[in-house]
Structure 1
Amino acid sequence: MKGALNTYFETLNYYAPELLKSLQETGIMLGIAAVIGGIGGLFIGTAIFFVGKNRLKPHRVISAVLNFYVNVTRSFPFLLFVVALIPLTRFLLGSAFGPLAASFPLSLVSLAIFSRLVEQVLLDVPTEVFVLADSLGATSIKFIWKMLFVEARSGLILSFTSTMISLVSYSTVMGVVGGGGIGDFALRYGYQRYEYGIMYTAIVIMILFVFALQFLGTHLAVKLDKRK
């Protein structure tokens, strides 16, 4: 047992530089996708909420375009989505390889996922909030920022947390198209080289990261819940 542990730690130490590099690549991909998906998804989801049929400011064309993007992107098999976007990624970024290029399709998926979740959260906002805003004569901007988002902030945080957890899963396949990351590390240095201890180490790191995201998201959502 002791000998096996010594061998494991020696192997882990040998692959440590590659492990750290893969974590950095995953961080770049998730960081970019989180910023773009968080800001853009909040905007698109709010727009879908407002312009839908029988909503506050219905607009058939805008609603159809936004819902088409969200529905198609969410239903597209992610790996095929990444491959299909390689020509566009290369055209926009000059390369289809590396964490920066990999963050492009990841960001588009992040936008779609979070947009739909934002819409669902806003649909659960009590109608009394809209009545109050109307009686106070609040402008659309003030209503959105100071009333709607405040009322829905707990659900929005939980939705963003769920989006991030999904992105962690999606990021693990980016190595197939040269994006790198912790998933690529687990496959190349663990599975393909029969170093199963290294592979399981990478898996445990991803699981712990997801647990940390869920804990932080839930804690913040509970703390900001207006119902308390």
Structure 2
Amino acid sequence: MSVLPFKSGGYRFVEGVFQYSAGVAAEPGYRIVRVQFRAPVPLEEGFRRIERIVTAAGRPLTAFCACELRSPAPFTEAGFTAFNKIYVGTLERWNIFDGKTNPIARSNVCPAIAPPPEPSFHAFSYTEAATDAEPSFVIAGSGEAPEGRGNYRDHIVSLGDVSPAGIREKARFVLGEMERRMGALGFGWKDTTAAQLYTIHDIHPFLADEIVRRGAARAGLTWHYNRPPVVDLEYEMDCRGVSVERVV
């Protein structure tokens, strides 16, 4: 996996697909700050609020490095592509996305109960200067399919199998992908401060053996009763190692 610097943002990132990177880590002299909204904020208004918060912190908009979105329901493949083209438009205006490479790590999931009426921000992260900063990182969300293959459906692990065995296989793939992304940035589960899981299926049959034993719940596990963002995906995770977090 290629790791590239984003110097104007104070971080490096694992190269991913056009809509997001696979993960980000603060460069020396910087730390990542995570900000969670008390309630989902619609995309356009969310970008405005992010701009105000980042600017008030004395940072350029290029310091924006990660976000967590909430959408009304899983997209079709075509719908997901269309949404992503709208989303990256703001990143282009902020001189973050150059039309090809996107450094922003992202999760986008769909609450199964009381979803927002339109795609919205749940949280975001940015870098700030800090000479004594501990290393910090955010890993983008991954469902149970490799990315960059042209579509998801043809590559989904255990497609259509939501039996306990099928969900376990999906979880194994996603856990492996989290480890692969963290490893590219020089981190592992021991460095995480939070892990988030998104599925509507029962995880208890494999929670101990597949998640806890490998260290993925070392800081606890936040289970959101959400679906991944694309039809037919059933299981997603993201994780982070961030020491400064706040709610607005």
TM-score (norm 1): 0.31
More helix by share: 1
TM-score (norm 2): 0.29
More strand by share: 2
**Bigger radius of gyration:** 1
